[in-house]
Amino acid sequence: MPTGATYWCEALLVDGVAVAGVRLSAGIDGRLTDRTDGVPVEPGDIRLGTVLPGLANAHSHAFHRALRGRTHDQGGDFWHWRESMYAVAQALTPERYLRLARAVFAEMLVSGYTAVGEFHYLHHQSGGAPYPQAHAMELALATAAREVGIRLVLLDTSYLAGGIHTPLRPEQRAFSDGSAAGWLARWARLRETLDADAAARPAEPALVSLGAALHSVRAVPTEAMREILAGLPADVPLHIHLSEQVQENADCLAAYGVTPTGVLDGLGALTPRLSVVHATHLSDDDVRLLGTNGVTVSMCPSTEADLGDGIGPARALADAGSPVALGSDQNAVIDPFLELRGLEMGERLASGCRGRFTPAELLQAAGTDGYAALGLGRARLVPGDPADLVEVDARSIRTIGARLDQLVLAATATDVRRVIVAGRIVADSGRLVGTAAAALALDGSPAALLGDALDALDPFDALSSPDTGSFPAAPSPA
């Protein structure tokens, strides 16, 4: 489908309200040039049914997808699960990661995600040495996103320590650039490389952009964080894991006398460009600080439930002034509707009350606030916004009878029909279409891509214990 297309939506959900008969025109740059409401379909329009604005996956670790269905019988907690994650990380190469990321991004796209923030720290070879090709792992992710047709914000991550005042473990060395200066220098070179690559593709909409991340207060020393905050351009979106685990808070209080949020506040890091991920275990003062400073909170309900992390104070944060975005994190589940429902259901379980977030607020978290957190603008479907759309079947076995303004509480990824990114149809009813499917030389099915990628990675036989056939577990940290 060429750029410059015009779409007519039978119904378009705008700010949670269904607007009938909406025509949207996309320019060659992949952005909206015109929107007209309440008009009939015309010859030449591409006709869509019920349409949502594009949905953002604000926090993803694509390689964690290799663990889906492999660790759920082992018990333990986040710290046990992390050992399995490290094992997969050590098995990845740029070639393997290209295949896996391509498949994971394809699954995201057909599930309704039009943009993804990839929190990326697999920078080097397993021992920590750079790859012969500069930015090999980062370019694998960028290539995968372009081939599939999803917007990618590469949140290149600084990861320098194994814990507060603790050196890196051997399996973490591949994540580190050695120092804040080393990370900043590599980040700047990567930006130049991605900019040059985009300039070499003037006929294509720009799908890949570069953001930044600090892994966590436990993995980046305070002085290194200070140096990175001073060295990053002010317009670059910045993300950080925050207070996902009680242990992280306890270690931070013991070392610094304040919570992780307090550390960031002392560094002057709490600004609207910052997104904190998880924010599960916060004090009342933490909530106030984050909200007062307009910091976005990226919550990942499926992962927080799967790993037993807990239920974060989403409603309190939103009321305090923090926008809430949503992510799939470990990708044990890839379904934007389950994430937004998980946000509301967690609130219901914690409070005993229904309707903690309205359907319109949930859609805003899944879409516009996620786009903003990734530096992609507000995505309100006005001229100048990304021409990103998701068509949802409003009469499936799951959605029939639902009011359109509550459709997001009934639908699942299975109900996603056509997905439009940068003005082009890139997926239809669970399959890639057009140039994406052709470029991948498969049948357009993410399942076929994933089977191919996992066969190439072979994480299960190569990394599992010879005695039990399962990934090795480790004791929780003290």
Q: Check if 284 is active-site.
A: no
Q: Check if 278 is active-site.
A: yes
Backbone angles phi, psi at 277, to 5 degrees: -100, 135
Residues in Cβ contact with 466 at an 8 Å cutoff, skipping those fewer than 6 apart: none
Catalytic residue among 329, 335, 369, 388: 329
156: enclosing H helix or E strand = strand 151-158
Indicate the DSSP class of residue 29: T
Question: In this structure, is the dihedral angle defined by the CA atoms of residues 272, 142, 277 and 253, taken in order, positive or negative?
Answer: negative
Q: Are 89 and 122 in contact (CB under 8 A)?
A: yes
Catalytic residue among 278, 306, 369, 388: 278
Relative to beta strand 17-26, strand 32-36 is antiparallel
What does the alpha-carbon distance between residue 101 and residue 113 come to, in Å, rounded to a whole number?
14
36: which strand partners?
Answer: 23
> What single string gives the DSSP state of each residue in 347-400?
HHHHHS-S-SS-HHHHHHHHTHHHHHHTTS----SSTTSB--EEEE-TTSTTTT
Q: How far is CA 346 from CA 64, 68, 311, 350, in A?
A: 23, 22, 6, 6
Q: How far is CA 151 from CA 69, 163, 198, 410, 421, in A?
A: 27, 32, 13, 26, 7
What does the alpha-carbon distance between residue 295 and residue 297 come to, in Å, rounded to a whole number?
6
What does the alpha-carbon distance between residue 218 and residue 264 come to, in Å, rounded to a whole number?
12
Q: In what order do the strands lie in the sheet with 17-26?
A: 32-36, 17-26, 6-14, 46-53, 389-392, 416-421, 424-428, 431-432
What residues are labeled active site? 278, 329
